Amino acid sequence: MTRGSAVTTAFHALAALVVGAATASGAPIITPLVSDQADILIPAVQASSSGLSNIGDQTFVGSANQSATYTNFLLAPNFGSTPTLSLTDGILLTSGRADLPLTNTVNQFNGALGTPGDADLSALSASAGGTSTTHDANFISFTFEVAEGQNAVQAFFVFGTDEFPTQSVTDIFGFFVDGVNYAKFPSGELISNTPGNPTNFISNPVATDPYDIEYNGLTQVFKVIGLLDTDLTTHTIKIAIADTSDTIFDSGVFIGGLSSTVSTGGGGIEPPVPEPTSLVLLGIALAGGAARLRRRARQ
Phi/psi at 80 (5° precision):
80, -170
Instruction: Compute the CA torsion angle 163, 168, 171, 175 (nearest 10 deg).
Output: 120
Give the three-state DSSP class for 29. Answer: strand
Residue 4 banded pLDDT, cuts 50, 70, 90: very low
> Is residue 58 within 8 Å of residue 140, measured between CB atoms?
yes
Average pLDDT over residues 24-39: 81
| Beta strands at 217-218 and 85-86: parallel, antiparallel or unpaired | unpaired
Cα dihedral: 98, 108, 195, 154 (round 10): 10
Q: How far apart (Å, rounded) are the C-alpha atoms in residues 157 and 200?
A: 14
Domain ranges (residues) in the chain: 27-274
Q: What integer pLDDT is reported at residue 273 of this predicted model? A: 65
Report whether pLDDT(136) > 50: yes
Query: Residue range 196-211: average pLDDT?
Result: 84
pLDDT digits (tens, 9 = 90+) for 216-275: 999 999 999 999 999 999 999 999 999 887 778 899 999 999 999 999 999 999 876 665
Percent of the chain surpassing pLDDT 90: 60
How far is Cα 98 from Cα 65, in angstroms, rounded to an integer? 6
Lowest mean pLDDT among 19-33, 129-143, 150-164: 19-33
Range of weakest confidence among 23-27, 91-95, 165-169, 237-241: 23-27
What's the pTM? 0.83
Mean pLDDT of 33-58: 93
**pLDDT at residue 40, rounded to an integer:** 95
Average pLDDT score over residue span 1-21: 42
**Mean pLDDT across the stretch 18-42?**
73
The greatest distance separating any two alpha carbons of the chain, rounded to the nearest whole angstrom, comes to: 75
Amino acid 5: pLDDT: 46
Any idea which of 27-41, 52-66, 229-243 has the lowest mean pLDDT? 27-41
Average pLDDT, the chain: 83
Note if the bond before 101 is cis, omega within 30 degrees.
no
81 against 238, higher pLDDT: 238
CA 163, CA 194: separation in Å to the nearest integer?
A: 10
| Closest by Cα among 48, 259, 266 to 155 | 259
